[in-house]
Homo-oligomer: A and B are copies of this chain.
Amino acid sequence: MIEPDRGSLCEVLHRTYDDQVCSIARTLEVVGERWTILILRDAFLGVRRFDDFQRSLGVSRGILASRLDRLCEEGILERRRYRESPERFEYRLTEKGRDLWPVLMSLVNWGDTYEAEHGPPKLFFHRECGGELTDRLTCAKCGEDLTVRDVEWRPGPGAKRAAA
């Protein structure tokens, strides 16, 4: 059944699908896989080494290796040798990777609001003045726009061990 407004809507949709909307689709091409987001989450928390990612995520070594390779190919992580003999590498966020911080924080904020029945598991603060991080990624106290480097965290009311 043809809806009265379908013609115009579909025209909009097709234009949309062809062009405007693809910044989301393209981003998902790169980071839109569950393990990839969780690897990035760990990287933002300071994890750098293969075995530590593996232990944190409980993912198979094969999947982890392929996701890390993909993130390096995309320039989101950088593989750096930190020991010569035996040769050892670690994975660090590049600037392109650090720029994903707002994506991760927007997931955190929504999850804190709707999926954290005991309250936020983590609270984020401006390292310099101690003000809380707002959902606009600014400091609630001094108003500054914050980046990942400006922010530290403490366990919140939803943190299991902190509550125990």
Q: Cβ of A37 and Cβ of B41 under 8 Å apart?
A: no
A contact residues, range: 35 or more
Q: Cβ of A21 and Cβ of B121 under 8 Å apart?
A: yes
Bound form: Cα–Cα A107–B27 in Å? 6
Residues 35 to 87 of chain A near chain B (Cβ within 8 Å): 37-38, 41-42, 45-47, 49, 51-52, 55-57, 86
Name, among A3, A57, A110, the residue most crowded by chain B CB atoms within 10 Å (CB to CB). A110
**Contact mask for chain A residues 102-141; partner B; CB cutoff 8 A; 1 contact, 0 none:** 1111111111111110001110000000000001111000
Give this chain's copy count.
Answer: 2
Q: Which residues of B contact A96 (CB under 8 A)?
A: 114
Q: Which secondary structure dominates where chain A touches chain B?
A: helix
Residues of A whose CB lies within 8 Å of any CB of B are 1, 3, 6, 9-10, 12-30, 32, 34, 37-38, 41-42, 45-47, 49, 51-52, 55-57, 86, 96, 99-100, 102-116, 120-122, 135-138, 145, 153, 155-156, 158-162
